Structure 1
Amino acid sequence: MSSYKAHFKVWRGDAEGGGPADFTVEVNDGEVVLDIIHRIQATQAPDLAVRWNCKAGKCGSCSAEINGRPRLLCMTRMSVFDRTETITVTPLRAFPVVRDLVTDVSFNYAKAREIPSFVPPAKLAPGEYRMRQEDVNRSQEFRKCIECFLCQDTCHVVRDHEENKTAFAGPRFLMRVAELDMHPLDAAAEAGLDRKRTAQDEHGLGYCNITKCCTEVCPEHIKITDNALIPLKERAVDRKYDPLVWLGNKIRRREA
């Protein structure tokens, strides 16, 4: 096994401030960035804070930014970098720093609670659900999400404009709305819930300008923009500007 010395800059600090710290560390063949962070902890900075769990790209815990790009530390191989390159590891920029590489991502869980869950069809028991395979496949893509929140971090609506967070759910949760709205058994409409309207009015669908940056960083290769956000936008626009819906709203307002 061959090895070499790599130069790392790892952000150290907390909510009060901080900056990059320099480390020279040994790298072995086949290692990923998380291995190197662990080696830095073991040999040079035992108090370095980093969040991780599965080390298999399935828990989403070790999200950070490597050379400015949102990535999973455990899925970023050292072999993709030039051996002479300085590798910079920083916390997710869109969320408040707790300490070092650990950020407070509670914003995402708050947004998750704002999305109304699946509404079961009233006349069917759970064992009686029947769906076409193509509908299963469409929803299944979105369920591959590991909630790493890299898409939330890279979305410039959240990343560059803190004031938008109150009105914008972000791509991960608009994808959840799209999944439910596309679900053939979701009875939200019968329960009085218009998912297309709430996506636009309550979750900030109009803020998304489909730059596809969320899709580019997704470690599960979910086509968030093409398969979720754009179809949801189309459905919301069709609903809002449907002439029959417009006429019905006019009539209801007149009766009121």
Structure 2
Amino acid sequence: MSSYTAAFRVWRGDADGGALEDFAVEVNEGEVVLDIIHRLQATQASDLAVRWNCKAGKCGSCSAEINGRPRLLCMTRMSVFSPEETITVTPLRAFPVVRDLVTDVSFNYAKAREVPAFVPPEGVAAGDYRMQQIDVERPQEFRKCIECFLCQDTCHVVRDHEENKAAFAGPRFLMRIAELDMHPLDAAAGAGLDRRKTAQDEHGLGYCNITKCCTEVCPENIKITDNALIPLKERAVDRKYDPLVWLGDKIFRRSE
């Protein structure tokens, strides 16, 4: 089938409220949902607000929910839906609506600023860093993140509990902490920063119950839960309940 008319339901509104609006729109072979949204803008709803940039699945701008599932509009092909299916497009539910499909994701940038950056090792110039290849490869997966914030949106700790947001960084930024904690040249400990302890005490690692919903929606196929969050949890627990660490804390606290 080279072209057909599809039924779309698109959320229209702003911070004060809104509703789903029905459209019948042409679909051509090989198109993605973002193409259809652009066609709606061109032919039926010129004031429809949508955020997008690269249309190549690399900028993370066009995040939305399609039939209730967090997705990138530019990477969701129309061929995955049947011609008879009504396709519902709504804004990310975890974040405040600005207008139509555009949400205010500033929560994520605030959380990013709360994560201490890489601490360079003393006495080693940047060009002289040396690492084993296995240590390079292990956190490299996490650097594929395009910050679409789909993982943040689908995480029920953020999505369903507004009261948790102040104390919970979300999977994207817990993954960042895990990446830094794995880095063999990160000198955070020497600077007095315990990344595992702060992950638990300041960034809400304990709120995560490893449902893997963040991994399931990641467009870069990063294994957020298995390769970042679970190992970070294991290291944080080992650190907290290690009897030698406990004894050391008691001794140093007594000497202060």
TM-score by length of structure 2 reads: 0.99
Deviations 1:12-43 (Å, cap 9, x if unpaired)?
00000001000000000000000000000000
Deviations 1:46-78 (Å, cap 9, x if unpaired)?
000000000000000000000000000000000
Deviations 1:177-199 (Å, cap 9, x if unpaired)?
00000000000001110000000
Please name the residue that 1:148 is paired with. 148
Please name the residue that 2:168 is paired with. 168
Please name the residue that 1:17 is paired with. 17
User: Is the aligned partner of 1:79 residue 2:83?
Assistant: no
Please name the residue that 1:30 is paired with. 30
Question: What CA distance in whole angstroms lies between the structure 2 residues aligned with 1:250 and 1:129?
Answer: 36
Question: What CA distance in whole angstroms lies between the structure 2 residues aligned with 1:133 and 1:252?
Answer: 37
Q: Write the letter of the residue equivalent to 1:51.
A: R
Q: CA RMSD in A?
A: 0.7
User: Is the aligned partner of 1:44 residue 2:6?
Assistant: no
Please name the residue that 1:64 is paired with. 64
Deviation, 1:254, is: 2.1
Q: Write the letter of the residue equivalent to 2:74.
A: C
Deviation, 1:123, is: 1.5
Deviations 1:116-156 (Å, cap 9, x if unpaired)?
00000002101110111111111110000000000000000
TM-score by length of structure 1 reads: 0.99
Matched pairs, number: 256
Deviation, 1:221, is: 0.1
Question: What CA distance in whole angstroms lies between the structure 1 residues aligned with 2:210 and 2:163?
Answer: 20
Deviation, 1:251, is: 1.4
User: Is the aligned partner of 1:204 residue 2:177?
Assistant: no
Please name the residue that 1:246 is paired with. 246
Q: Percent identity?
A: 86
Question: What CA distance in whole angstroms lies between the structure 2 residues aligned with 1:131 and 1:139?
Answer: 12
Q: Write the letter of the residue equivalent to 1:97.
A: V
Structure 1 range deviating more: 191-200 or 244-253: 244-253
Aligned to 2:190, the other structure's residue is in SS state coil
Question: What CA distance in whole angstroms lies between the structure 1 residues aligned with 2:185 and 2:252?
Answer: 28
Matches within 5 A, 1:84-123: 84-123=84-123
Aligned to 1:57, the other structure's residue is in SS state coil
Runs of 4+ in 1 over 3 A off after TM superposition: none
Deviation, 1:255, is: 2.3
Question: What CA distance in whole angstroms lies between the structure 2 residues aligned with 1:254 and 1:34?
Answer: 62
Deviations 1:210-242 (Å, cap 9, x if unpaired)?
000000000000000000000000000010001
Point out where structure 2 has 5 or more consecutive residues left out of the alignment. none
Q: Write the letter of the residue equivalent to 1:239.
A: R
Point out where structure 1 has 5 or more consecutive residues left out of the alignment. none
Question: What CA distance in whole angstroms lies between the structure 1 residues aligned with 2:99 and 2:133?
Answer: 45
Aligned to 1:190, the other structure's residue is in SS state helix
Question: What CA distance in whole angstroms lies between the structure 2 residues aligned with 1:133 and 1:21?
Answer: 52
Question: What CA distance in whole angstroms lies between the structure 1 residues aligned with 2:2 and 2:198?
Answer: 56
Question: What CA distance in whole angstroms lies between the structure 2 residues aligned with 1:254 and 1:172?
Answer: 38
Aligned to 1:4, the other structure's residue is in SS state strand
Question: What CA distance in whole angstroms lies between the structure 1 residues aligned with 2:244 and 2:203?
Answer: 25
